[in-house]
Structure 1
């Protein structure tokens, strides 16, 4: 019994860790857990190691020797990529950072001093050492690859692309929840009176699950699914431009000191219309985006113009852009007003609306009864095997 409970607890912890890392990647902000993808912090953090992190709004200003997570401007290709390095000094222009394994600071390699607004999280330290979860990132990467492989296999088997991508993952999550509920109902109906009488009444009573609780769990799963649909499809995207002399021609080449209009495409592969907003990721530096929402019908694509400016100094530059995407189940004017207050507010209101409508329909249909989960001895799998023998 103790061994079973320990194994169950470990499974729950792993699931919560994967969910926390996934959400953190979607929103560009670590949520309690993160992991490193390079060896620049060795031996403190090895590639694939996870660590506990707190958001900057909780930790406040950083100090020397803190390990911070920040949006880099040039490291790892730039474009706001999340980087985990240690603070080695503080200046009026920002903090100086360096990987524990690196021989020079990030600023010596061309990264500007890191400002407080770029820092999104801070690792929890015991002394100078972070709280490390070995190979957490490696496990997460493996799970993510397995999920993508399963999506491709199901998509090929069913002959549809609807199961691919983030929206397909949302469909699969909700479908899995529905199958689990249906399996529980079938298991309950299949329990004959003789089986019920042989069970201990107290044990049976303790193992019952409220149908309303099941309905609420399915509603929460639906909300998670649509939240994934909205947040993953958006995120940070990059325009890579080259500031060059006036007589140089080529794609993404802009004459030094001038501006050009480039196209940005917003696709919608789902079955519900979406409203998207795009904005510069770095305080509008070298970029102008539309201020209005972009309405995209199901299965269609809308293209808008983005103005990019090239610096006077020639060279290669990255111009990151953030896309916020919302399911158009609210009037577009409502979404716009909520977005102006905070980009996450439309997501919260849409989630609350969907959950409320779902529960108002599902709970009366489910009723007030309970469901008794089947034991391993009378599982559906074993019943199928027994029937196949005849």
Structure 2
């Protein structure tokens, strides 16, 4: 039992390090983050750590979301839901973000929703106090970000061999064991984040005899087009793949976008013969271009999750190739928190 607890403790340390590393690579918060201003007080105080659900793609009024605005990640509450996205506002602010000239928050710019249990936030107060002074420097300097958080996972580790102590005040790890835990952690986090980058777009319209009175109104049985505007807001090139999840919508297109570039995709929709309000679901998938685009096209045509598996396979192969470098006789020791200090 003690061995299992020790493994969980070490895995947790390395997992948090992996979360930070992957977050730096993708330039977005992953699973957890913290606030650096007073705009959400008293709900969330400055430097409080909170957890994010990256798989939530539907947001309602009152939800607290993490989104990118003017190049910075912001944690504010949804004040209103509009056709193009969301109006947001900090609980401690007098006016909405958009009244100050900021753009409406679109779904593709949202990292996720802050997790609550029975309506209560899960917060760890003050954790960001120790990292707030370097946070801006870290986000601007990706190399520094990687180094700092890679070392964070090893912060309490000290090298050294030596005899096993009876009271097991230290947990011993070989270099290869630490490397294996880190590899699995990175693969898990990359998988979770890659799935979160698959975002649904809902195209709503109404079929009515008053077609044309409003832009979203069409005649029953019409075949019409709607456009989806896609932009790469990241700092790396991405391969985008757009695929319909509705039998009434037709679109299947893949393309490559450099950072800051955008594209417009047309979706052909076959309206039902009956009058009513309808919504068609289209998936916009974003992948790291670690394979020929033809491979992504073939895999995504079968399932939008196959490219994620393929990228993970490539990363896994690379880690396996580098594994011999991790073979070392060096043993690390981390203080066992389950034992009392004398």
**Residues 324 and 247 of structure 1: CA distance in aligned 2, closer, same or farther (over 3 Å):** closer
Q: Is the CA contact 1:155–1:162 (under 8 Å) kept in the aligned structure 2?
A: no
Aligned residues: 242
Tell me how far apart the structure 1 counterparts of residues 150 and 207 of structure 2 sit (CA, whole Å): 53
Aligned partner of 1:316 in structure 2 is 277
3-state DSSP class of the match of 1:188? strand
Tell me how far apart the structure 2 counterparts of residues 255 and 361 of structure 1 sit (CA, whole Å): 60
Q: Is the CA contact 2:205–2:218 (under 8 Å) kept in the aligned structure 1?
A: yes
Aligned partner of 1:31 in structure 2 is none
Aligned partner of 1:200 in structure 2 is 165
Tell me how far apart the structure 2 counterparts of residues 319 and 357 of structure 1 sit (CA, whole Å): 40
Choose which of 240, 250, 257 in structure 2 pairs with 1:288.
Answer: 250
Choose which of 247, 263, 268 in structure 2 pairs with 1:302.
Answer: 263
| Distance apart, 1:208 and its partner CA | 0.9
**Residues 162 and 319 of structure 1: CA distance in aligned 2, closer, same or farther (over 3 Å):** farther
| Distance apart, 1:25 and its partner CA | 7.8
3-state DSSP class of the match of 2:200? strand
Q: Is the CA contact 1:275–1:332 (under 8 Å) kept in the aligned structure 2?
A: yes
Tell me how far apart the structure 1 counterparts of residues 230 and 327 of structure 2 sit (CA, whole Å): 39
Check if 1:183 corresponds to 2:155: yes
**Residues 296 and 344 of structure 1: CA distance in aligned 2, closer, same or farther (over 3 Å):** same
| Distance apart, 1:331 and its partner CA | 0.7
TM value normalised by structure 2: 0.54
Tell me how far apart the structure 2 counterparts of residues 156 and 299 of structure 1 sit (CA, whole Å): 26
Higher relative strand content: 2
Higher relative helix content: 1
Check if 1:262 corresponds to 2:226: yes
Tell me how far apart the structure 1 counterparts of residues 312 and 289 of structure 2 sit (CA, whole Å): 12
Which structure ranks higher in relative contact order (CA pairs < 8 Å, sequence separation ≥ 6)? 2
Q: Is the CA contact 2:206–2:217 (under 8 Å) kept in the aligned structure 1?
A: yes
Residue range with higher mean Cα deviation, 220-229 or 360-369: 360-369
Aligned partner of 1:347 in structure 2 is 308
**Residues 320 and 160 of structure 1: CA distance in aligned 2, closer, same or farther (over 3 Å):** farther
1:228-239 equivalences in 2 (<5 Å): 228-239=192-203
Q: Is the CA contact 1:215–1:363 (under 8 Å) kept in the aligned structure 2?
A: no
Alpha-carbon displacement from aligned partner over 1:123-173 (angstroms, at most 9, x marks no partner): xxxxxxxxxxxxx97279834x889x97xx97995179889xxxx9xxx9x
Q: Is the CA contact 1:277–1:324 (under 8 Å) kept in the aligned structure 2?
A: yes
Alpha-carbon displacement from aligned partner over 1:193-227 (angstroms, at most 9, x marks no partner): 9xx68x726837x8211211211222222222322
| Distance apart, 1:321 and its partner CA | 1.7
1:84-95 equivalences in 2 (<5 Å): none
| Distance apart, 1:360 and its partner CA | 2.9
Tell me how far apart the structure 2 counterparts of residues 222 and 234 of structure 1 sit (CA, whole Å): 19
Which of these two proteins has the greater Rg computed from alpha carbons?
A: 1
| Distance apart, 1:233 and its partner CA | 1.6
Check if 1:209 corresponds to 2:181: no
User: CA RMSD for the aligned pairs?
Assistant: 5.0
**Residues 161 and 253 of structure 1: CA distance in aligned 2, closer, same or farther (over 3 Å):** farther
Q: Is the CA contact 2:174–2:328 (under 8 Å) kept in the aligned structure 1?
A: no
**Stretches of structure 1 lacking an aligned partner (at least 5 in a row):** 29-36, 38-135, 383-390
| Distance apart, 1:329 and its partner CA | 0.7
**Residues 223 and 331 of structure 1: CA distance in aligned 2, closer, same or farther (over 3 Å):** same
TM value normalised by structure 1: 0.48
Alpha-carbon displacement from aligned partner over 1:251-293 (angstroms, at most 9, x marks no partner): 32223321222111333333332223222223x1x2111x331
Q: Is the CA contact 1:264–1:304 (under 8 Å) kept in the aligned structure 2?
A: yes
| Distance apart, 1:239 and its partner CA | 0.9
**Residues 329 and 27 of structure 1: CA distance in aligned 2, closer, same or farther (over 3 Å):** farther
Tell me how far apart the structure 1 counterparts of residues 152 and 138 of structure 2 sit (CA, whole Å): 23
Aligned partner of 2:121 in structure 1 is 142
Residue range with higher mean Cα deviation, 261-270 or 329-338: 261-270
